[in-house]
Structure 1
Amino acid sequence: MSQFTVSGQFQSRDGHSKFETVVDAPNENVARDHVFSNIGSQHGLKRPQIEISEVSEQ
């Protein structure tokens, strides 16, 4: 598995909050899904409220 750095922003009460996280995944699409799932569950958000701007492999 590869490591991917995923960055973007999500809607919060104060506007938009930026994030950057490292995810172990076999490919870029799975890395995106993991980030949508993790941030959505932590902050009570749906996928359209999360915007991923960059995915890069380390």
Structure 2
Amino acid sequence: MSVYTVSGRFQIREGWQAFETEIEAANEDVAEEHTYSEMGSRHNLKRAQVEVEEVEAA
């Protein structure tokens, strides 16, 4: 498995907050899915409240 850096933004009360996280996954699509799951778990967000802008191999 490879490590991917996923960046984007998520919705907060005042607008949007940028984020960047590293995810270990089999490919870019799986890394994006894990990011949605992680952001939802940590911040109680729905998928519509998270915008993934870039996924790149670290």
Residue 42 of structure 1 and its aligned partner are, at CA, apart by 1.0
Residue 4 of structure 1 and its aligned partner are, at CA, apart by 0.2
AA at the equivalent of 1:7: S
Residue in 1 that maps onto 2:26: 26
Distance 1:39 1:21 in 2: 10
SS in 2 for 1:45: coil
AA at the equivalent of 1:9: R
CA RMSD of aligned residues (A): 0.6
The percent identity for this pair of structures is 52
Unaligned runs of 5+ in 1: none
Q: How many pairs were matched up?
A: 58
TM-score by length of 1: 0.95
Which consecutive segments of 4 or more residues in structure 1 shift more than 4 A? none
Q: 1:1-58 counterparts in 2 under 5 A? A: 1-58=1-58
